[in-house]
Amino acid sequence: MVSELESIRRWYLYNRIVRQGYFDTLAKLPPEELTRDRGASFPTLLDILGHSIGGIETWIVRMSAVNGEKFKTDDIPEPQNLSDLRAYSNAIDGFVDQFFARLTDPELDREYLVPKLPPWWDEDFTTTFRGTLLHVIEHELQHRGELNALLWQIDVDPPVLDWDDAVKGQPWATPAKQERRRKSG
């Protein structure tokens, strides 16, 4: 049986793997499709994906200051296009790896103060590492669903992957489960 921390870490790995499919799908679209205002939570497909990755950065960097030295993000340029956004994602994934490398199961219960940040929230609040890590997973899933809906509107199949497809080949994916998936098609 895996620990809770390992389970959460696997969710982050799953999201990272699936996110690469979105980069590949978006790379096949004409540039005007990437930058067209769609009236969604954020105007463009790139803006939505960038916001999702920015949420990972915001929360992981915030928590890094609580359980060690704060990650330095000053050298990461603001993404201007899909290629920049992929590089940004890879840099943030490096921070996620560093954060999980120094996180322990007991620290999931660690509380920390989150200062107000209008317009997102208007007052300070306290939360736990667990609550934050799960929030970031949900946040990415929410925006991935939004991207799926927008891609369907332009007759593009999103890289909809279920857990088993995404983790195929990972050392923690059981051979029996992989075989069942292969046979079921």
Q: What is the CATH number of the domain that holds 65?
A: 1.20.120.450
- Worst-scoring range by mean pLDDT, 30-39, 43-52, 55-64, 115-124? 115-124
Q: What is the pLDDT of residue 168?
A: 77
Q: Let me know the angle formed at the C-alpha of 112 by 68 and 6, rounded to the nearest 5 degrees.
A: 65
Number of domains the chain is built from: 1
Query: Domain range holding 113?
Result: 4-184
Instruction: Kindly report, residue by residue over 19-41, the tens digit of the pLDDT.
Output: 999 999 999 999 999 999 999 99
| pTM score above 0.75 | yes
Q: Which amino acid is at 142?
A: Q
Question: Under a CB-based contact definition with an 8 Å cutoff, are residues 29 and 88 in contact?
Answer: no
Q: Which two tokens stand for residue 18?
A: 């699936």
